[in-house]
Amino acid sequence: MTAAGPTPAGGRSRRRGPSHANSGYLFVLPFLLVFLAMLVLPLLYAAYLSLFREQLVGGTVFAGFDNYTRALGDDRLVKGVLRVARFFLLQVPIMLALSLAAALAIDSGLLRFAKVFRLGIFVPYAVPAVVATLMWGYLYGPDFGLFAQIAGKLGLDRPQFLSADHMLGSMANIVTWEFVGYNMIILYAALRAIPHDLYEAAAVDGAGSWRTAWSIKLPALRPALLLCLIFSVIGSFQLFAEPQLLQRLAPNVIDSAYTPNLYAYSLAFTGQEVNYAAAVSFLLGLVIVVASYTVLLVTNRRSRA
């Protein structure tokens, strides 16, 4: 904007520009310093550690990519990664569909008490994953769990939420419960920012609310939906608190490698295999970045086609 006006004043401010511009460093420096120390440094350190191996004789020795070849051939790790990938494919579509439906419903103006719904659905986001998991764990429980009680009253078999077959679904339910509200709020915020002249134009064209939702709201929501999707990729692949806590209720179903993160944790703190754990962490980070970019690429290509 300033560059557009070749007036004397504009010229002066442009000449003074660089000095102003450079004070930008002052503003971004504190963030960047902490960013380097707390994000870049640990990442590099993990990469460095992952190249070594601890031996009973000779201490820590350089191992090249041995840890990585071991990880890629590690059945427990591969199974864990596939399990969280399955979790992602199962849970995220349901969660995002519910969030989208709720956001559209609240924004549609067709709803009574819209504000109550918006806040009520959002509340679980303020509940820590630990509390949510403990709570759902008690609800699932075969003894005094709510569902077991209800099934008992109705004379039905007690549902086995914590069995091997249903564990992933039970966990998906907990995560869905926690995060629908959060995603809904992001989507709702994006809906509210759609300029109203678009709605007016649609109304003039005689579009109903379904048509408006489909042709105006959904396209406008794309960036926000993508953001939610990326956050969901990251969240799913680093699943930790839920399986770690449910492990106590179902020790035979959830082993120490149920999710890759749980595996890295037990490698580092139970098995004392720090170098291998670093390689696993690093690989997991890589998997997440690759998965996120795949999501970005796929959605971009689809929108262009």
Q: Which is nearer to another protein, 218 or 226 (CB)?
A: 226
Structure tokens at 53: 């191996």
| Binding residues among 91-150 for another protein as defined by CB under 8 A | 98, 102, 105-113, 116-117, 119-132, 134-136, 138-139, 143-146, 149
Q: Decide: helix, strand or coil at residue 64.
A: coil
298 forms part of the interface with another protein (CB under 8 A) = no
Q: Which is nearer to another protein, 77 or 249 (CB)?
A: 249
CB of 212 to another protein, least distance (A): 8
CB of 254 to another protein, least distance (A): 14
4 forms part of the interface with another protein (CB under 8 A) = no
CB of 156 to another protein, least distance (A): 16
**Phi and psi of 194, rounded to 5°?**
-70, 130
72 forms part of the interface with another protein (CB under 8 A) = no
Q: Which is nearer to another protein, 168 or 278 (CB)?
A: 278
Q: Decide: helix, strand or coil at residue 60.
A: strand
User: What x-and-dash track marks residues 209-248 binding another protein by CB under 8 A?
Assistant: x------------xxx-xx--x---x--xx-xx--xx--x
- Contacting residue, 164, 289, 297, 298, with another protein by CB under 8 A: 289
162 forms part of the interface with another protein (CB under 8 A) = no
**How many Å apart are CA 283 and CA 27, to the nearest integer?**
34
Which residue in 158, 116, 156 sits closest to 140, CA to CA? 158
| Binding residues among 51-70 for another protein as defined by CB under 8 A | none
- Contacting residue, 63, 100, 168, 185, with another protein by CB under 8 A: 185
Q: How far is CA 291 from the centre of its chain?
A: 12
DSSP 24: H
Q: How far is CA 105 from CA 123, 132, 184, 205, 217, in A?
A: 18, 26, 10, 22, 12
**Phi and psi of 53, rounded to 5°?**
-140, 140
Q: Which is nearer to another protein, 78 or 111 (CB)?
A: 111
Under a CB-based contact definition with an 8 Å cutoff, are residues 256 and 263 in contact? yes
**How many Å apart are CA 233 and CA 21, to the nearest integer?**
37
82 forms part of the interface with another protein (CB under 8 A) = no
CB of 38 to another protein, least distance (A): 5
CB of 170 to another protein, least distance (A): 13
80 forms part of the interface with another protein (CB under 8 A) = no
CB of 202 to another protein, least distance (A): 9
CB of 23 to another protein, least distance (A): 4
Give the residue ranges of DSSP H helices in the chain.
8-35, 41-49, 66-72, 75-108, 114-122, 129-140, 146-154, 167-192, 196-204, 209-212, 218-237, 241-249, 260-269, 274-304
Segment contacting another protein (CB under 8 A): 56-64, 74-82, 162-170, 194-202? Answer: 194-202
| Binding residues among 30-49 for another protein as defined by CB under 8 A | 30-32, 34-35, 37-43, 45-46, 49
Other Cβ atoms less than 10 A from the Cβ of 194: the count is 16
**Phi and psi of 57, rounded to 5°?**
-110, 125
Other Cβ atoms less than 10 A from the Cβ of 270: the count is 9
